[in-house]
Amino acid sequence: MLTRARARAGRAALTIADRAATAALVAAAAAVVFMTALVTVEVVGRSFFGVSTLVADEMAGYLLVALTFFGLADSLRAGAFIRVEFVDAWLGEAGRRRLDAVLLVVAFGYTVFLGWQFWGLAAQSWRFGTTSLQVSRTPIWIPQACMVVGTTILAVAVVARLARRLGAGEPVP
């Protein structure tokens, strides 16, 4: 009975992690669309009308931050991070599983540390009202919040991958 309840809870947690990664991926895709539209408006405005938005480069940079950090969890889920393949081949299946588990634990620790640092940075920017030096005066905590959210979702994805690897024994890309 308890085992079934744990299995159900584990599957629910993995589903939540997958949905969070998917939502972040949708946000990353939206960032690409907005960045493309913004650059297009800037190019057309300058080329044909002699006007500029004055904020296109700044906003495109912020959208690039969002795209990068919101795409991390899905990159992990898809197995798109860099791997040293000759080490994988040399270790064999059992060694690769152990190494993957160790690396996931290290990745989780590093991701949590990084997220904590980003949180401190965003909180400090919020507290002091730090804004960009550009004409938009964008509150800097907004792009920094994307870094916090992206690393948090990545940490959840790392735990989900580790749970799949160790708990269910499912193959993970």
- The residue ranges of the chain whose pLDDT is under 50 are none
Q: What confidence score (pLDDT) does residue 129 get?
A: 98
Half-sphere exposure of 170 (CA within 13 A, CB side): 11
Q: What confidence score (pLDDT) does residue 2 get?
A: 54
CB 76 within 8 A of CB 154: yes
Q: What confidence score (pLDDT) does residue 61 get?
A: 97
How many Å apart are CA 167 and CA 71, to the nearest integer? 25
Q: Over the stretch 1-30, which tens digit does the pLDDT of each residue have? A: 557 776 777 777 789 999 999 999 999 999
At residue 131, the 3 state secondary structure works out as strand
Short-list 62, 54, 85, 23, CA closest to 144: 62
Q: What confidence score (pLDDT) does residue 169 get?
A: 54
Neighbours of 5 (CB within 10 A): 9
Q: What confidence score (pLDDT) does residue 168 get?
A: 55
Which residues have C-beta within 8 Å of that of residue 49, sequence separation ≥ 6?
none
Q: What confidence score (pLDDT) does residue 81 get?
A: 83
How many Å apart are CA 141 and CA 158, to the nearest integer? 25
How many Å apart are CA 97 and CA 102, to the nearest integer? 9
- Cα 121 to the center of its chain, rounded Å: 17
Angle (nearest 5°) at CA 158 between 153 and 116: 55
At residue 86, the 3 state secondary structure works out as helix
